[in-house]
Amino acid sequence: MGVKIKDQGKIKDLIRAFDKDHKIKVGYVGSKSDQTHSGTDISIADLAEIHEFGCKIPVSDKMRKYLASQGLYLKASTQYINIPERSFIRSGWDNSEDEVMDKLEELIGELVQKRIPINILLDMIGLEAKGKLQQYARDVGNPPNHPFTVDQKGSSNPLVDTGEMIGAMDYEVD
């Protein structure tokens, strides 16, 4: 007794499709990321990078005076404002990679059966990953905002203020 396999070209098509080395980039890509954040001269992509990796901002006399006018009095010895790392892209991916890969596995079955084309599969995975990272960013709570920032924003959520940064996250397929 033997097994007979009839190849209707699906496996070869699948291999050719993936052989093109498709890539999905999720994060701050495209024109939205180049736009400036409301009321500032910083791009949305730069703002996301600041939150992702943290940064130290040198305190100038002008900044010190401005903050004092807003009710935040810095010590004379304060030389930097520290914005802590709040990784939402790297940590968000680590948190959701298994779910996105499960979705990919499910969709590959659809691709093999020719129910969806490769470009649709790639778009669906891009949307899935983008949505997972956006949700993770909305849920980040640590490290918390400084009380002064909470008073200014009216919210304690560190990565959500206007919604521009999270809303500008996107994906692209190469």
Q: Which pLDDT does position 115 carry in this prediction?
A: 80
Q: Which pLDDT does position 5 carry in this prediction?
A: 47
pLDDT digits (tens, 9 = 90+) for 35-58: 888 778 889 999 999 999 999 999
Q: DSSP per residue over the chain, as a string?
A: --------SHHHHHHHHHHT---EEEES-SHHHHSBPTTSSSBHHHHHHHHHH-EEEEPPHHHHHHHHHTT----TT--EEEE----SSHHHHHHHHHHHHHHHHHHHHHHHTTSS-HHHHHHHHHHHHHHHHHHHHHH---SPPPHHHHHHHT---TT-SSSHHHHH-EEEE-
pLDDT digits (tens, 9 = 90+) for 140-159: 888 888 888 888 888 888 88
More confident of the two residues 92 and 40: 92
Q: Give the span between the Cα atoms of 74 and 172, in whole angstroms.
A: 43
Q: Is the pLDDT of residue 15 over 80?
A: no
Q: Percent of the chain beyond pLDDT 90?
A: 52
pLDDT band at 136 (very low <50, low <70, confident <90, very high): very high
Taking residue 76's Cβ as centre, other Cβ atoms within 10 Å add up to: 7
Q: What average pLDDT is seen over the chain?
A: 85
Q: Percent of the chain beyond pLDDT 70?
A: 88
More confident of the two residues 129 and 150: 129
